[in-house]
Amino acid sequence: MALFNIFIFPGILFLVVAGLWFEFVDRRMYARMQHRQGPPWFQPLADFIKLIAKETIIPENANRRLFVSMPVVALTATISAFFYIPLWSTHALYSFQGDSIVVMYLLTLPTLTFFLAGWYSTSLYSTIGAVRSLTQFFAYEIPLFMAVLAPAMLANDWSLAGIATYFTAHPLLALLNVPALGVALVTLLGKLERVPFDIPEAETEVVAGAFTEYTGRHLALFRLAIDIEVIVAGSLLVAMFLPFGLALPAWLGFLVYLLKITFVVAVIAILRSIMARLRIEQMVNFCWKILAPVALAQLLLNLVVKGFLHS
Amino acid sequence: MSKITIPLGPQHPALKEPASFKITLNGEEIYSMDMRLGYNHRGIEKACEERTYIQGLYLIERICGICSHSHSTAYIQALEELAGLQVPKRGLYIRTLIAELERIHSHLLWLGVAAHEVGFDTLLMYAWRDRELVMDHLAEIGGNRVNYAVNTLGGVRRDLTPAEIAHILKDVDTLEERTKYYAQVATEESTLIARLSKIGYLSKTDAELLGAVGPTARACSVDRDIRRDDPYAAYGDVQFKVCVDDHCDVYGRVLVRVGELMESYSIIRQLLKNLPDGPIAVKAPRRIPAGEAISRYEAPRGEDCHYVKANGTDKPERVKIRAPTLANWRAVRKMIEGNYLADAPIIIAAIDPCFSCTDRAIELVRPAGAATLTWGALRQHGIDWYRKQGLDFADLNKKLATQLGRVK
Amino acid sequence: MLGEVLAHLCAKPNTIKYPFEPAVVEAGLRGKIKFVAEKCIGCKICVKDCPADAITITKIGDKRFECVFDLDKCIYCAQCVDSCPKKALSVTNEFELAQLDKHKLRFVFHAPDAPPTPPAPAAQPEPPVAKTA
């Protein structure tokens, strides 16, 4: 049963299918908002198969082992994070006190792999993309951490399942975290490197950033890892900030869960269709001057409320 | 971080045509830029000398894929001056109409490209969607979306029907509505403004010293427009305002172009309202008397100059073209210094560069050990090289031929 | 901008699925050239004026002319239509002219009472093509 859970449902296979599906949803919505047709539903899968079949080229100067292993590390990290997140019930597949921190750390790994992948490709565009990835990482990571941990603080529990249980018992308290949800959604754009924070892979400036030298199946794995990261990070936000419908029967809960993920994907698609790409220094300023104070205020608010509740 | 030099081009996603920019970076800041042009040299000036005037006209039109009418009109004005041809009023009006439609299509295209350079793809899609309205009219009147080939020696080739006039007027109203919306987007969308303002600064003095032309110069408060200063075609008969802006940055260039779009709509309405009756062309001789002429034209990108020297035969003796982009290159170098790398593509794009228009000369850099090959030898070298890699195209061709059932 | 994109989300896309839906082209589009052999007098002004050397007119009998078009050379400027004094050439708005096989791009208009020959796709013996300097 554990193996079934890990490999089939709600494990790797489910994640791959959901990742590709929501990539389609994202691309289709983006296209429709731009008054275009958009791709057919199987396009992400077709792209993936095509990339797998393509020739793989590894730059001569690149560190071969790192170059090849980075996509796998990114994929593994995102998938492992998924097992600790409660999806459509208050239970996660695996759970322990402090797993919320572990999930956050597992989710920072892909960004680090982007950096290492870009840096060890040794091409100029990759290097610049890698450095930008890391610069951006330092800007959005702190607000993201503060925002995501605010509900944990309120629930006084460091396991994701525990937080979900707490908010299912006190659903109104979840509304308190709305500013943090906003901060988390915006920083998520930075984590996923989407417009307006797609600075590390801005195609008109640095071609494809860290991925410039990647081809064939390695690129396919990276893209799959990013698709899955959307689902995992979306699930994390949903579990933290929208813990509604977790007590429903499993099938209904599953539908509600899919709706919630669609909501996150839709917000990302809308935000990237109405904004221009920022410059790296504008992005850092925005994260530190606006997002960080908001997240900090949320933490203070939650501390005060928690004081009242427990006194 | 020490200084690094990164190449932008000859092949780069930000560039629609090949040109090589070597950008030296100090961190993310641009320290200096070096550029090399000439990748698109096609020898058009020389080729014109070997073609008759009529044939050359279609070649001249292919200098640029966007402002094809600009080059063809500039060329034909020089020829008509030499031949002493008086183009009928109606012909001139149609010529001007096409010129303004072309300006609209060029500026909308630029707006889309500029939006794409700063990662705002939605605006790109909207601008290009609306541009299709103009493209459809150009195809209907001229006969092609890009190379309209409306000009002929002594006038224009196609006339306008009342139905077409009504249709154009209707679409101009739609476009005006849309352009107002884009003007609103340009003044309200905060991320867009953040990316466009205060970058690529060029002072008025520098613009004049470096000889910038067109919207690039007008965005630096240089009040210069050939349409008003030296009227040609029907521009003497219409009222319009020259759009000037004092932002001196990329944002100012956006405002100037959006303003020019609005002026173009008004010019088109005036032209169609006062369209005179009569013939659209006069009969032109095949030979043009000896002499030389220079013609200026305000293309969407700036002043376009054509020089023609005729020797009494049906072929020109010399044709010289100065495309607007060439005049703007030196200004780009000035504009780009001190900006961030992220802004390099939009600063280059802000002059609306057209590399293939510009490339009039190439410089041969011959490294040691280089050899000159004839076309045949180069072809043979290619075949041998692939054969060494285990690929024989002769075989492939035979296979393909067998499959297509035509074995020779 | 937000209102605009949300409105478009529900609107019908502005683009069409081209190869599956027919593309509408303007009536005035300059596409493939049509040749009416009966009207041709063999003056060859079209051949002289063509900027791309895409037309060849051959005399195949008394007052009978055959015209060969190289669709891959043609730049679709329709100057030949303007040049023709007898209106033997006309322009159509047929634009889907791409071919996988290069030989199909050579389009032959036969003279009216010429013996029947297979349709254009069949390989024609290559007529001598005028070379430019």
The residue count for chain B: 408
Exposure b/e, B187-223, CB count within 10 A at least 16 = b: eebebbbbbbeebbbbeeebbeebebbbbbbbbbbbe
User: Is the pLDDT score of B294 beyond 90?
Assistant: yes
Label the pairing between strands C106-109 and B4-8: unpaired
Q: Is C130 on the interface with B (CB under 8 A)?
A: no
The distance of C96 to chain A (nearest Cα, Å) reads 22
pLDDT at B362: 67
Contact call for B191 and A277, based on CB within 8 A = yes
The distance of A170 to chain B (nearest Cα, Å) reads 39
Q: Which of B54, B142, B143 sits opposite C49 (nearest CB)?
A: B54
pLDDT at B97: 92
What residue ranges do the domains of chain A occupy?
12-310
SS3 call for B170: helix
Q: Is B178 on the interface with A (CB under 8 A)?
A: no
Q: Which of B149, B185, B406 sits opposite C1 (nearest CB)?
A: B185
User: Is the pLDDT score of B202 beyond 60?
Assistant: yes
Chain B environment of A38 (Cβ under 8 Å): none
Q: Is C131 on the interface with B (CB under 8 A)?
A: no
User: Is the pLDDT score of C125 beyond 50?
Assistant: no
Least confident of B7-16, B23-32, B123-132, B193-202: B7-16
Least confident of A170-174, B118-122, B164-168, B347-351: A170-174
Contact call for C26 and B58, based on CB within 8 A = no
Contact call for B129 and C14, based on CB within 8 A = yes
User: Is the pLDDT score of B342 beyond 90?
Assistant: no
Question: Please, what is the end-to-end C-alpha distance for chain A in angstroms?
Answer: 43
Chain C's closest residue to A36, CA to CA, is: C13
What Å distances lie between residue A143 and A147, B31, B361, CA to CA? 6, 33, 54
d(CA B307, CA A40): 53
Contact call for A277 and B189, based on CB within 8 A = no
Q: Is B294 on the interface with A (CB under 8 A)?
A: no
pLDDT at B406: 55
Contact call for B58 and C75, based on CB within 8 A = yes
User: Is the pLDDT score of C118 beyond 60?
Assistant: no
What residue ranges do the domains of chain B occupy?
4-36, 44-358, 373-408
Sequence-distant (6+) residues with CB within 8 A of B85 are: B79, B153, B154, B282, B284
Chain B environment of A195 (Cβ under 8 Å): 119-121
Predicted confidence band at B408 (pLDDT cuts at 50, 70, 90)?
very low
List residues bridging with B155 in a β-sheet. B152, B281
Predicted confidence band at C128 (pLDDT cuts at 50, 70, 90)?
very low
At A170-192, the pLDDT tens digits run: 888 878 888 888 898 888 888 88
Nearest to B244 by CA among B268, B230, B263: B263
Chain A environment of B113 (Cβ under 8 Å): none
Contact call for A205 and B120, based on CB within 8 A = no
Chain C environment of A270 (Cβ under 8 Å): 2, 5-6
SS3 call for C14: coil
Mean pLDDT of A146-164: 85
pLDDT at C133: 37
Contact call for A202 and B119, based on CB within 8 A = yes
User: Is the pLDDT score of A196 beyond 60?
Assistant: yes
SS3 call for B351: coil
Mean pLDDT of B393-401: 72
pLDDT at C129: 45
Fold annotation for B44-358:
Cytochrome-c3 Hydrogenase; chain B (1.10.645)
What Å distances lie between residue A165 and A125, A240, B129, B234, CA to CA? 46, 11, 50, 77
Contact call for A204 and B116, based on CB within 8 A = yes
What Å distances lie between residue B350 and A199, B70, B255, B358, CA to CA? 20, 20, 12, 16
pLDDT at B102: 92
At A241-254, the pLDDT tens digits run: 887 777 777 788 88
Residue found by looking up tokens 């700063």 in the block: B118
The encoded tokens of residue A13 equal 């296979």
Mean pLDDT of A277-298: 88
Mean pLDDT of B2-30: 82
Chain A environment of C6 (Cβ under 8 Å): 33, 270
At A212-230, the pLDDT tens digits run: 888 888 899 988 999 999 9
The distance of B205 to chain C (nearest Cα, Å) reads 37
Least confident of A146-160, A229-243, C105-119: C105-119
Nearest to B152 by CA among B102, B84, B80: B80
Contact call for B343 and A128, based on CB within 8 A = no
Long-range contacts for A163-168 (Cβ within 8 Å, ≥24 apart)?
A163/A100, A163/A239, A163/A240, A163/A243, A164/A86, A164/A90, A164/A239, A164/A243, A164/A246, A165/A90, A167/A243, A168/A90, A168/A243, A168/A246, A168/A247
Residue with more model confidence, C119 or A165? A165
DSSP B14-55: T-SS--EEEEEEETTEEEEEEEE--TT---HHHHHHTS-HHH
Contact call for C2 and A37, based on CB within 8 A = no
3-state secondary structure B182-196: HHHHHHHCHHHHHHH
d(CA A196, CA A263): 19
User: Is the pLDDT score of B310 beyond 70?
Assistant: yes
Mean pLDDT of all residues belonging to chain A: 86
pLDDT at C20: 85
The distance of C10 to chain B (nearest Cα, Å) reads 15
Mean pLDDT of B76-103: 91
pLDDT at C131: 41
d(CA B223, CA B215): 10
Chain B environment of C76 (Cβ under 8 Å): 143-144
Sequence-distant (6+) residues with CB within 8 A of A247 are: A89, A90, A168, A253
pLDDT at B108: 92
Q: Is A122 on the interface with B (CB under 8 A)?
A: no
Least confident of B10-24, C97-111, C119-133: C119-133
Contact call for A34 and C8, based on CB within 8 A = yes
Predicted confidence band at C123 (pLDDT cuts at 50, 70, 90)?
very low
Q: Which helix (H) or strand (E) holds C110?
A: none
d(CA B76, CA B153): 6
Long-range contacts for B293-296 (Cβ within 8 Å, ≥24 apart)?
B293/B78, B293/B79, B293/B81, B293/B82, B294/B78, B295/B74, B295/B75, B295/B77, B295/B78, B295/B81, B295/B232, B296/B74, B296/B226, B296/B230, B296/B232
Predicted confidence band at B307 (pLDDT cuts at 50, 70, 90)?
very high
State the amino acid at position C91 in one-letter form.
V
A-to-B residue pairs, Cβ atoms closer than 8 angstroms: 77
Residue found by looking up tokens 């600063």 in the block: B347
Contact call for B144 and C76, based on CB within 8 A = yes
Could you give all domains of chain C from N- to C-terminal order, each with its CATH number? 26-109 (3.30.70.3270)
DSSP A269-285: HHHHHS-PPPPHHHHHH
Predicted confidence band at C122 (pLDDT cuts at 50, 70, 90)?
very low
pLDDT at C113: 65
Least confident of B75-84, B150-159, B310-319, B350-359: B350-359
User: Is the pLDDT score of C2 beyond 80?
Assistant: no
Chain B environment of C82 (Cβ under 8 Å): 152, 157
Which subunits sit against B, judged by 3+ Cβ pairs under 8 A?
A, C
